[in-house]
Structure 1
Amino acid sequence: MDSDVLVYVDLNGTPHLVGRLWARRRKGRDSASFEYDKDWLANPIRFSLEPALQLGPGPFHTPASKPLFGALGDSTPDR
């Protein structure tokens, strides 16, 4: 099953589209890809979501040992 999700960050009450996450399951293995939105890359307040997702164009793919990027797998508030 494949799914894609728009990824936003909320900064001071304003949502900002950061990019798109694609998750997939192939042959019993989960994997994901992420690509930053071009407007986020041009935004002066931009930042990378985690070290594995350095700011830049093009898709990033999870390694075989990880089904999801760490920052996106644990993205809900702790409260």
Structure 2
Amino acid sequence: MNGYIRWKKDKTNRAYLRENKEPTRQSTFASLTLAFERIWYGRGEISKEQYQQLEPEFNSFINDIKRNPIIEKEIEHG
């Protein structure tokens, strides 16, 4: 596997974290995933201030991936 993640419909965020071998991206992905899970699955709300803290980290992560496109996807057929 030479990609950041090997996307698959039934994988969990934790599975993607375990697959990641790049320490900087792993740490950032873990932090962003934790924030997402607390809000999405915990049905929590995020304050404007919390959003403003997370947004730059998220944008930086996405931009890093765009500059260094090492993401692979497995597309399920059938």
TM-score where L is the length of structure 1: 0.31
Rg (Cα) greater in structure = 2
- Structure richer in strand, relative to its length: 1
Identify which of structures 1 and 2 has the higher relative contact order when contacts are C-alpha pairs closer than 8 Å and 6+ apart: 2
TM-score where L is the length of structure 2: 0.32
- Structure richer in helix, relative to its length: 2
